[in-house]
A and B are shown apart, each in its own frame.
Chain A
């Protein structure tokens, strides 16, 4: 006997971008699990062809309203790789600083307004604000501290325009940066409080076997540079990306799915960075992690919210360090000559590894572009998690099952594009 049930949610709230999830369960057997995403980067790849290479940072920044810096950073690193440009010293530090700003704002938004409501039983951040006004206000202020860094170093908070190949159009003065310190000191305390707050949530049980992938650098928690490493032994330079990873069609979907060649799904984002770079966090971060019960490796994806909070704290501390040690560079950028060639760049967007590759004509125009955002790379892993959650929670009524499925998708803070927000969530039971 079958009992036909169907859950339909108009859109998957609180996830940036467009996507849909479809799950089919027949007689308590999972028949179909699909998490599909709309992929504006594919369109942008075509849009970039023939344009000057100098357009790439500002155009790709428009792929996402929440993480424009990540797109700018991966694109400028790719161009610099193509032209043999090295950016170091204070300019390199400023790039880390602006990335700190983006992590703070993106993580604060996700923790407080998007994911915390799942754990606390609220339909949205708006509903949560009614009962937890001070908590939401703290989240908004923390996010604003990140915005301030992006606004100052990036030229403006929304669609920053100050990043260019070789460095910046204008660099901030020491005094301008120092003006950020009081609010960042507040943000440091707020970030510590955030770690303690979210670690008190109740987490669904999960101990999953992932291949974590992130950048790794010998001296620092990764933002812009490093080798691509994995928890199962990968260790490659950024230009080798396509030798080890591929995007291919899978039968059930038209979208390209990223995989490690001959191995399959992998996991990028805060959990991967944390697990592969724990010892690069500050002493405070590590002690706090232990205080709230996290080891050096976290395999419960629902605890990504705690890791995001720790990364927020790290980003605030790192921003304060950079500002303290900052010496104004003599030039705002490194001069270079565009040449024919190919370049690869990867950086750690708030949501994980973001890879760009460009081939450049001898006149400096873009011959072709490849952009692989973190959510595409997590797509198969998200589907695997959905299958796990279904298996664990099939006995739940539809509304509660739907809730935990959405919550598990938000573990990845999926963000494809702020160009569109329409989402469609359907659970079919036959």
Chain B
């Protein structure tokens, strides 16, 4: 199982909701080969299987918490989410439940980082809005930098 895994959560044909998978696309070739890149629909059981044996898991998901589209949140997933994320995000019910289940069943990675990218309207489409596309670039850079830091350990 992967030592370090990056999971992009989202749906590629639902507009801005694709931002997690798009970040994964942008990380290809930018992170060491040992870092495993995974796309997910946010199903809790898939997340558990993907991260349970990892030392570090980074999850990228779309968030609707009232912020400006394109805003980026970075939180420690083992500490807990802001309450506002739970009710209105597109996939964090799955991510939040996966963290809760992982805690109950000892299926969490040693370290879990969650990037939440604020998105606008979610509707079928295969392109990101400009501000969310720019945020995807920014998050890919941030994760790339984090991975450079962990790759030698």
Contact = CB atoms under 8 A, between A and B. Distances in A.
Q: Do A and B come from one complex?
A: yes
Interface of A: 10-11, 13, 40, 43-44, 46-47, 59, 62, 65-66, 109, 113, 124-126, 129-130, 133, 136-137, 140, 143-144, 147, 157-159, 418-422
Which 10 A/B pairs are nearest by Cβ-Cβ distance?
Answer: A65-B41, A126-B100, A129-B104, A47-B124, A419-B14, A421-B93, A43-B124, A62-B13, A10-B87, A419-B11
A66 B11 contact: no
B101 A422 contact: no
B125 A47 contact: yes
Contact of A130 (B12, B46, B104): B104
A44 B124 contact: yes
Contact of B42 (A65, A125, A129): A65
A283 to B, nearest CB: 31
B25 interface: no
A315 B12 CA distance: 30
B17 interface: yes
B6 to A, nearest CB: 15
Contact of A143 (B42, B45, B122): B45
A157 B46 contact: yes
Interface bin, chain B: 20 to 34
Contacts of B71: none
Contacts of B101: 113, 125-126, 129, 136
Contacts of A143: 45
B137 interface: no
A420 B90 CA distance: 5
Contact of B46 (A62, A136, A158): A158
Central interface residue in B11, B48, B88, B103, by most chain A CB within 10 Å = B11
A126 B17 CA distance: 26
A140 B45 contact: yes
B41 A159 contact: yes
A206 B104 CA distance: 34
Given A133-B105, A158-B41, A418-B42, A140 B122 contact: no
A420 B14 CA distance: 10
B97 interface: yes
A55 to B, nearest CB: 10
B14 A11 contact: no
Nearest to B90: A420
A264 B53 CA distance: 51
10 contacts: A11-B87, A40-B124, A113-B44, A113-B45, A159-B12, A159-B39, A418-B41, A418-B91, A419-B11, A421-B93
Contacts of A113: 44-45, 101
A144 to B, nearest CB: 7
